[in-house]
Amino acid sequence: MYCIEARLLSKSYGNFMAVDNIDLQVPSGKIFGFLGPNGAGKTTTMKLLTTLIPPTGGQMNILGIDAIKSPLEVRKKIGVVLQQPSYEPTLSVEKALDKYGMMWNVEKNIRKDRVEELLVAFDLVDIRKKKNDDLSIGQRRRVQVAREFMHDMELLFLDEPTVGLDPSARRGLLDFIKGKVKDGLTIFFTTHILEEAEYLCDDIAIINKGKIIAVDTPGELKNKFGKEKTIKIHISEQKDISSLLAGIPECTIEHDSGVIITVRSSHSEQVLQDILKILASNDMAVEDLSVVPTSLEEIFLSVVKNSNA
Amino acid sequence: MHEIIRLVNRNLTISLNMGFVIWQIIFPLIYIFVAGFAYTALIHQVPFGNKTLDYPAFIATGMIGFNIMNSTLISGIIIWNDRRHGMFEQILVGPFTRAQYIVSNVYTIGIIGLVSAAMITAVGYPLFFKQVEFNILTVPLVIFASITGSILFGSIASIISTRLKSSEGFNVIINTVFLFFAFVSTAFYPAQGAPPILSTAFYFNPLTYLVDVVRAGIFGYFNSLVATEMIILGVGAVILFVIATKLLSKLEM
């Protein structure tokens, strides 16, 4: 069952294609990460899917509803945290949460409980009486994200929700989101902080220049695009190690300082064994050794680079 | 609760602060009780239809119209603030349509306009009670003036708020426009006796029609001129509301 199904979705501004015939399928009850460099089309896609702007072409089905024909029906069932800050400057934190719940027609007694719950969950208790206008950017962002949990929803769109948050607040928010997903919520999450996507997302799509260039689980993306691992060896004395390792098949020497050498290989286990044999046969002592898998960030950069090429 | 009622509730909550309430009460009170009596030495009697009003009664009723207009500033401020603070987009990704957002603003200014009118009527009543002539048209005329005036001036404030991005620009333009409306009208002084250019300009100003209709209701004087003014006010309100709605609907996200 898919929460979001988009087919050949596009949005153009004059000759510029902000979103270029993308296909998307987001399964229910999962966290779907939507990654891309600045200006890639993430926010425009988000605005299309949340029915804030109409598409130029294509079809969208959100929660089983034709989002082009019945946008209001879709919006009644989703939550959206936009990238740009949004707040009522004259309201206090707790009043802002309560009024937002009222706008979503949440009953007064339920609102009261939720306000208390969210003030604690988002560490807002100490600033509950402060007006939004007097908050720091990070505090305001926390209120903005917390506010969205005042109402019930089946699908939540989060457009870079952790921007402006300190590391502790960021981790707190990600864990809170994970908890909500366990309760059945589906999340569409855009970010360019790749550690977040790796920590949080079940599936990831990468968009560049308005086109989706990769979609898969973080693990599969690594399998597909990141089979290579980086082997870093620190030897005790300066030697011409590059010439010794040159004969190892499937091994690319990236860096050689004489005592530290970095190689990349998609057959890292075999290559590591060969390197250790060569070092032992040349009486070269190893001071330190590490094998690092390719990070999502490297995959992202590589996929985007290939797409640009 | 209906979506529009929820939005009106929200609009009233964010708009009604102590500063606004004081502005809405103190400012007209100064005009009614200070200017009203101070200018009596200069303006003794003001002809209105088949009646002659004393100046405090004239300005007190003018202040009802003035306060209705002033209260509609809130409409522009709500829209402008919503755009500036991201709430415009946030509301429109929620369970609301643009039409509901617009209508909720109209209701908000309508409520504030009516309450303002009632407030100033109550405050000014001791000044004009001797000349009041309640009849079957009094309440409908005052309500008509309050509602059409709110929509008309609220639409003007909304149009300005959709066109301007900087807070300085918004404040300067809206204050200049509303200052023009306030003082180039018959709210404060009668058209009779003013230089011809000025008295003509008075009748290019919707506030003149608004206060004329209010006075017609309160002083029980209704003729074809008042009926014409009501039509102009109504048509003006509809046209400006349509323009404001179109501009709001076209606002880029």
pLDDT by residue (tens digit) across B178-195?
889 988 999 888 888 788
- Report the CATH number that the domain containing residue A269 is assigned in CATH: 3.30.70.100
Whether residues A130 and A237 share a domain: the answer is: no
Whether residues A122 and A256 share a domain: the answer is: no
b/e map B55-86, b = 16+ CB within 10 Å: bbbbbbbbbbbbbbbbbbbbbbbbbbbbbebb
Give the pLDDT mean for B120-140.
80
Please name the helix (run of DSSP H) or strand (run of DSSP E) that holds residue A208, with its range, or none. Answer: strand A203-208
pLDDT digits (tens, 9 = 90+) for B196-235: 888 889 989 999 999 999 999 988 888 898 999 999 999 9
B95·A105 Cβ contact <8 A:
yes
pLDDT digits (tens, 9 = 90+) for B72-91: 888 888 888 898 999 999 99
Number of domains in chain A: 2
User: Model's pTM, two decimal places?
Assistant: 0.81
Q: Which residues 6+ apart lie within 8 Å of B231 measured at CB?
A: none
Please say which residue of A191, A223, A255 terminates a domain: A223
Give the pLDDT mean for A277-285.
87
Asked if residue B246 has pLDDT above 80, the reply is yes
Please say which residue of A223, A255, A278 terminates a domain: A223
Rounded Cα gap, residues B112 and B150, in angstroms? 8
Whether residues A272 and A136 share a domain: the answer is: no
In chain A, which residues have their Cβ closer than 8 Å to the Cβ of B89? 52, 82, 84, 86
A47·B253 Cβ contact <8 A:
yes
Whether residues A210 and A278 share a domain: the answer is: no
- Report the CATH number that the domain containing residue A114 is assigned in CATH: 3.40.50.300
Is residue A308 included in any domain, yes or no?
no
Please say which residue of A223, A256, A272 terminates a domain: A223
Question: With bands split at pLDDT 50, 70 and 90, how would you rate the model's confidence at B133?
Answer: confident
Is residue A304 included in any domain, yes or no?
no
Domain that holds residue A25: 2-223
Asked if residue A73 has pLDDT above 90, the reply is yes
A103 neighbors B10 (Cβ within 8 angstroms): yes
Whether residues A205 and A265 share a domain: the answer is: no
Sheet containing A155-159: which strands, arranged edge to edge? A78-81, A155-159, A186-191, A31-35, A203-208, A211-216
Interface membership of B192 toward A (CB under 8 Å): no
Q: Which residues pair with A156 in a beta bridge?
A: A79, A187
Interfacial residues of A (vs B; Cβ cutoff 8 Å): 47, 50-53, 72, 75-76, 78, 80, 82, 84-91, 95, 99, 102-105
- State the complex-level ipTM: 0.81
Asked if residue A131 has pLDDT above 90, the reply is yes
**Burial class for A236, CB neighbours closer than 10 Å (0-12, 13-18, 19+):** exposed
Is residue A21 included in any domain, yes or no?
yes
B205 neighbors B153 (Cβ within 8 angstroms): no
Interface membership of B85 toward A (CB under 8 Å): yes
Give the pLDDT mean for B143-156.
90
pLDDT above 70 as % of chain B:
100
Among the listed residues B193, B195, B185, B210, the one whose alpha carbon sits nearest the alpha carbon of residue B43: B193
Q: What is the pLDDT of residue B52?
A: 85
Instruction: Count how many residues are written for chain A.
Output: 309
Asked if residue B68 has pLDDT above 90, the reply is no
Domain ranges of chain B: 3-249
Whether residues A165 and A214 share a domain: the answer is: yes
Whether residues A108 and A137 share a domain: the answer is: yes
B253·A52 Cβ contact <8 A:
yes
Whether residues A284 and A201 share a domain: the answer is: no
Q: What is the pLDDT of residue A32?
A: 95
